[in-house]
Structure 1
Amino acid sequence: MVITKSRLVLGATAVTLSTIAVTGLGIHSRGQALFKASPKQLVEEVWQIVQRQYVDGTFNQVDWLAVRQEYVVGKSYSSQEDAYKSIREMLTKLEDPYTRFMDPEEFKNMQVDTSGELTGIGITISQDEETKKIMVIAPIDDTPAFKAGILARDIITKINGKSTEGMDTNQAVSLIRGEPGTKINLTIQRDGQPRQFEIIRARIEIHPVKYSTQETPAGKVGYIRLNQFSANASREMQSAIRDLERQRVDGYILDLRRNPGGLLYSSVEIARMWLDRGTIVSTIDRKGEQEREVARGRALTNKPLVVLVDEGSASASEIVSGALQDNKRAVLVGNKTFGKGLVQSVRPLEDGSGLAVTIAKYHTPNGRDINKQGVEPDVKVELSEEQLQELWLNQREKLATLADPQFAKAVEVLGQEIASRGITTSEKK
């Protein structure tokens, strides 16, 4: 998901499973309006928003005027619930799982996600555009789902024994969300095989940035792990880089593995900490380029940088890694990223409900549309499922050490980058 400062905008259409789901920064809730829209007015409002803003001017080959005739002109409503049902039916005609309606409770829960505290199991999910299955983008570090062994690209087939066939992400969220201390049973399909997970929900405090210095064959490395682009991620990243600069590291490894994304402005601010010049990301709506974010000559360091990515690196992670790669500021090591490049606007409706509508897609500086494609690393290092389980669950102490194959390769590449700049031991700062 990504968000601008002026309005709520989501980019991977990911849903973080918690009592809180997506940030409300920049939202001024019209749900507090002086009047309450009638059910028919609400359906009309949703239709109009899609009509004005949807990314595809053909509405994915749907006759959107005929949809209005069916659901607005030719239908009467006796309750808000009837309107909600029709709105959901209307939106399914677009066959876009990322354009979705939220009732007032769902929308309220959606507005405070990235504040840094969650209640739930700690995974980010999406609905696969082709199969319509509920898919895990990534578990958040050190959360119940993470500790249970949930992995990126796991398919959730059942929630407490209830099939997810035909569910959208909102419905899945409502079933998975719950009070701290309560249990949930997930049936996961991985590599074609079903697996059972019993997970206890918890209150989760998220600190997006962890960092350290490591003495390696490449020299003194500043290691920064970013697990989410939350509201305080850029502030914590700035502090980490400045501290590591004071410690005179020789180069950096930025770990974006299993980072499902977050706020657009956070990703842009963080990219600017590494880039002095160049484009960071462009958003493209149905009329063409809408906005371009660029570096502003305020990089905090120009030292060699390697970025670790994998199939759980999505959305805002892909914005940053794509920007650093295209501008030749960093070498990417790991696996191809998730491939989430759609942008959504999320807005409140008159009765306190909300609508997420796909309004654009984003491109990397070189014009790459990474939706469904992902970002390919410069140096590919694939891990087996056994290695993934060992590093991310069973023996976490090996993560980001030379016993971690992707990290070890990053150190090797970083050493080459340092050497290519002709930095000698006496010159290192």
Structure 2
Amino acid sequence: MRKRTLLVTILVICSLLLNCFVGSPIASAFTQDQKLLLQSWRLVNQAYIDNSFNNQNWWLLRQKFLQRHLHDRKETYDTIDEMLATLDEPFTRLLRPGQYNNLQMSTAGELSGVGLQININPETGKLEVVAPLTGSPAESAGIKARDRILKIDGVDTTTLTLDEAATKMRGANGTQVSLTIKPYKDEKVIRQINIMRAHISLSPVFADIDNQTQNIPIGYVRLSQFSANAAQDVADAVANLEQQGTKAYILDLRNNPGGLLQAGIEVARLWLNNGTIVHTVDRQGIRDSFSAFGSALTEAPLAVLVNEGTASASEIVSGALQDNGRGILVGEKTFGKGLIQSLFELPDGAGLAVTVAKYETPNHKDIHRLGIIPDEVVPQDPISYQQIGTDIDLQYQAAIKLLISNMAVVHAS
């Protein structure tokens, strides 16, 4: 009887093993496309912030997609997109080789294209301009914030992802791209614009000094994104403004979509002598903190301009300065992106952005989908770069008044 039981047990085990091999290809038998799919699955499996994977069996999902016959790389990419879509989280995504290369150039501080920051409007689902880069071909063509991009080289943008739209607008220096634009202020007009792509140096900083403020020189520093050179460029700008006798500062983070986490931390350190900058929380719930550890470049009063386009690393800096009492936030509620992605390069030159952690402000505020409320809320319709700092820029003018008022109180006491 025991022998029979043992025999049955062995047969059951062999049957299970056979089923495993039949249901899942042997590793050595994987095609190159299957290996690419499998590596993408592994990266998410190892690093993704939600270890429930949106309350689904991630292993069974792997088996399901591996059983597909992948005929070419496009089909493989589409399958990876489909797999990642089950997470129902837009920031974990596949970047095709061109998209991944463009992202690397952007964060490195240079690219060739038209110079537009774009986003999908969460309410309308339409592709919109966040802002044109200063001095870019797009700015010269008169494209403004909130303009809607209907077509790129004749392709309907409703059929494109955000990354695909950005890739289509980038290209070799001297080549041309056609954009169909519906202006924000006059939606009855549709403009067809042919723009020559150019090499764009992405120094993310513009700085100037306002000497028309009751004899109190106020330095203005606008940061458009957190690329690898952001902290150094801000430091150079502040040092130059200090030499000109600046008594207070405005840091403009409006329409800054973020960028590198480390760049955000380094920029915050420029303004803080000490204090926590940000807390991060990974999938195990393990917290890590980043703090200021040296002397700030200046202790002059600071106002920070924010709006609904202020996102990600911009919100890290805004939250750090607000929670530490270092700066007054002026403007509108920020975007509310409190997730951190890591980039992984795949063997064929594509990349995978995986959400690996969330962040909290120094006071442990989770701002994801909530945003940061400014200390001084000042609504404002979109304005062009040429109108920044003018009387039309209500948020800028409010920041000026607050700085002068606060400085007057300090001197009076």
TM superposition score normalised by structure 1: 0.79
- In structure 1, give the amino acid aligned to 2:35: Q
The DSSP-based 3-state class of the residue aligned with 2:200 is strand
Question: Where in structure 2 are there 5+ consecutive unaligned residues?
Answer: 1-29
Distance 2:177 2:333 in 1: 33
Per-residue CA shift, 1:109-135, capped at 9, x if unaligned? 332223332211222334567876545
Tell me the residue number matched to 2:208: 212
Tell me the residue number matched to 1:222: 219
Change (3 A) 1:355 1:267: same
Per-residue CA shift, 1:371-417, capped at 9, x if unaligned? 222222211222235xx2xxx15xx2x53245532222111100122
The DSSP-based 3-state class of the residue aligned with 1:44 is helix
Tell me the residue number matched to 1:335: 332
- In structure 2, give the amino acid aligned to 1:255: D
- In structure 1, give the amino acid aligned to 2:388: L
Per-residue CA shift, 1:133-169, capped at 9, x if unaligned? 5454443233233444545555544333433335322
1:361 aligns with 2:358: yes
The DSSP-based 3-state class of the residue aligned with 1:185 is strand
The Cα shift of 1:280 comes to 0.8
The Cα shift of 1:62 comes to 3.2
Contact 2:258–2:312 (CA<8 Å) still a contact in 1?
yes
Change (3 A) 1:166 1:358: farther
Per-residue CA shift, 1:307-365, capped at 9, x if unaligned? 11222222222111111011111111122222222211111122332211111222211
Tell me the residue number matched to 2:24: none
The Cα shift of 1:44 comes to 1.0
Distance 2:233 2:366 in 1: 29
Number of aligned residue pairs: 380
Equivalent positions of 1:259-274 (< 5 A) are 259-274=256-271
1:202 to 190, 195, 198: 198
Change (3 A) 1:60 1:190: farther
Distance 1:271 1:218 in 2: 28
Distance 1:305 1:136 in 2: 28
Equivalent positions of 1:24-423 (< 5 A) are 38-72=32-66, 74-127=67-120, 133-148=126-141, 150-152=143-145, 156-179=149-172, 180-188=174-182, 190=184, 193=187, 196-197=190-191, 198-200=193-195, 201-215=197-211, 216-217=213-214, 219-385=216-382, 388=383, 392=384, 396=386, 398-402=387-391, 404-422=393-411
Distance 1:218 1:273 in 2: 26
Return 323-332 or 108-117, whichever deviates more: 108-117
Change (3 A) 1:190 1:62: farther
The Cα shift of 1:78 comes to 4.3
Distance 2:133 2:288 in 1: 30
Contact 1:187–1:194 (CA<8 Å) still a contact in 2?
no
Question: Where in structure 1 are there 5+ consecutive unaligned residues?
Answer: 1-35, 425-429
- In structure 2, give the amino acid aligned to 1:275: L
TM superposition score normalised by structure 2: 0.82
Higher relative contact order (CA 8 A, sep 6+): 1
- In structure 2, give the amino acid aligned to 1:48: R
Change (3 A) 1:38 1:292: same
Contact 1:145–1:199 (CA<8 Å) still a contact in 2?
no
Tell me the residue number matched to 1:6: none
Contact 1:218–1:414 (CA<8 Å) still a contact in 2?
no
- In structure 2, give the amino acid aligned to 1:330: G
| CA RMSD between the two structures | 2.8
The Cα shift of 1:290 comes to 4.2
Tell me the residue number matched to 1:18: none
Return 112-121 or 48-57, whichever deviates more: 112-121
Tell me the residue number matched to 1:5: none
Contact 2:119–2:130 (CA<8 Å) still a contact in 1?
yes
Return the structure number with greater helix share. Answer: 2
The DSSP-based 3-state class of the residue aligned with 2:395 is helix
